Amino acid sequence: MASGERNLLLLNFLTVVSLSILCADKAFSIRISTAPRELSDQSLKTAVFALGSFWRSEAVFGCLNGVVRTTAGYAGGSKINPAYRSLGDHAESVLVEYDPKEINFRQLLEIFWSSHDPRQVFGQGPDVGNQYRSIIFTNGAEEARLAAMSKESEQTKSRSSIVTTQIQQLGSFYPAEPEHQKFELKRQPMLLQLIGNLSEDDHEKSNLAAKLNGYAAELCPPKIQRRIDAKISEIIRKVWPVLRDV
Ligand code: MHO
């Protein structure tokens, strides 16, 4: 067998093994598949948040139970067809597609508040600029109410500085360029190898890629981070073939 073919088989095999191991766990109760649109879109809800660099924002939400897919993109501004180097007045944002039976908007808001510093002005962490501002995008009156209540409660935690987060009705969300999708995962060739060679399109829609993107950035909730860690070590220990002889 040509070595290219063997590598391909190996990658496919590893994909199946890693997927089935990850799927076997209750924590990953959403069916994990690399096939696009694994849950019917009608049963999913979407939410959009801006909380600094979208590389990190995608990772924050990607490995929560109930989050099916994430997309990095631009929102909150008026520029038509923004791009990374010319995003105009948009903020780097993340589109979160979630199963409302497993996680709700209120819980997503909690993750939003605990995952960045909403009191930082004109930037987030080391990143400076308007594109890193904090925004909760809402869809309808109920989400706007929940967002406003959560902001009030965040403000009451300390009166010595102002919570800068904006609350806006979502207008357009523009997905960012492919190289910005699941950026944290793309930085880790070993993890990419574990899930096989996905096409860019499958990669963007894959639930497993979203989870591993969070894991790669070490931004999963600690329990999930440890569980994925253990599973990856197990795969490497038990399954990875080692060439001992020729
Ligand atoms: N601190 C990041 C910002 C990237 S971002 C997607 C960097 O490494 O440049 O805007």
Q: Is residue 112 part of a domain?
A: yes
CA distances from 9 to 4, 65, 227 (A): 9, 30, 27
Strands 127-128 and 45-51: unpaired
- What confidence tens digit (pLDDT) does each residue in 78-130 have? 999 999 999 999 999 999 999 999 999 999 999 999 999 999 999 999 999 99
State residue 177's pLDDT score.
97
For residue 183, which atom of ligand 1 is closest to its CA? Answer: 6
Ligand 1 pocket test, candidate residues 54, 55, 122, most atoms within 8 A of CB: 55
Indicate if the pLDDT at residue 76 is higher than 90: yes
Nearest alpha-carbon partner for 176 in 48, 66, 61: 48
Q: Is residue 29 part of a domain?
A: no
Indicate if the pLDDT at residue 72 is higher than 70: yes
State residue 109's pLDDT score.
98
Which residue owns the Cα nearest ligand 1 atom 3?
53
Please tell me whether the overall predicted TM-score, pTM, comes out greater than 0.85 for this model: no
Q: Is residue 214 part of a domain?
A: no
Q: Is residue 17 part of a domain?
A: no
CATH of the domain at 65: 3.30.1060.10
CA of 127 to the centre of ligand 1 (A): 7
For residue 131, which atom of ligand 1 is closest to its CA? Answer: 10
3-state helix vs strand vs coil in the chain, percent to 5: 45, 15, 35
Q: Is residue 160 part of a domain?
A: yes
Higher pLDDT, 34 or 12: 12
State residue 5's pLDDT score.
40
Q: Which two tokens stand for residue 235?
A: 């795969």
Indicate if the pLDDT at residue 228 is higher than 60: yes
**Start-to-end CA span in the chain (Å):** 15
Q: Rounded to the nearest 5 degrees, what angle is found at the Cα of 87, between the Cα atoms of 199 and 57?
A: 60
Integer Cα distance of 126 and 129 in angstroms = 10
| pLDDT tier at 240, thresholds 50, 70, 90 | low
Q: Is residue 227 part of a domain?
A: no
Q: What one-character DSSP code corresponds to residue 163? A: -
Quote the mean pLDDT of the chain. 84
Q: Is residue 31 part of a domain?
A: no
CA distances from 106 to 36, 44, 47, 144, 221 (A): 27, 15, 11, 11, 17
Is residue 53 within 6 Å of ligand 1 at its C-beta?
Answer: yes
State residue 36's pLDDT score.
33
Is residue 57 within 6 Å of ligand 1 at its C-beta?
Answer: no
107: containing domain? 41-175
- The arithmetic mean of pLDDT across residues 209-232, rounded, is 94
Q: Which residues contact 123 (CB under 8 A, 6 or more apart)?
A: 52, 129, 132
Answer yes or no: are the C-beta atoms of 75 and 90 closer than 8 Å: yes
Q: Is residue 180 part of a domain?
A: no
For residue 125, which atom of ligand 1 is closest to its CA? Answer: 1
Answer yes or no: are the C-beta atoms of 72 and 57 closer than 8 Å: yes
- What confidence tens digit (pLDDT) does each residue in 185-196 have? 999 998 888 888
Q: Which two tokens stand for residue 102?
A: 């497993």
Q: How many domains in the chain? A: 1
Higher pLDDT, 137 or 199: 137
| pLDDT tier at 242, thresholds 50, 70, 90 | low
Nearest alpha-carbon partner for 198 in 6, 23, 33, 71: 33
State residue 40's pLDDT score.
57
Answer yes or no: are the C-beta atoms of 27 and 222 closer than 8 Å: no
Which residue owns the Cα nearest ligand 1 atom 7?
127
Which residue owns the Cα nearest ligand 1 atom 4?
53
Indicate if the pLDDT at residue 35 is higher than 70: no
- 80: left (phi > 0), else alpha (psi -120 to 50), else beta? beta
For residue 54, which atom of ligand 1 is closest to its CA? Answer: 6
CA of 56 to the centre of ligand 1 (A): 9
Answer yes or no: are the C-beta atoms of 77 and 88 closer than 8 Å: yes
- The arithmetic mean of pLDDT across residues 11-40, rounded, is 36
Is residue 92 within 6 Å of ligand 1 at its C-beta?
Answer: yes
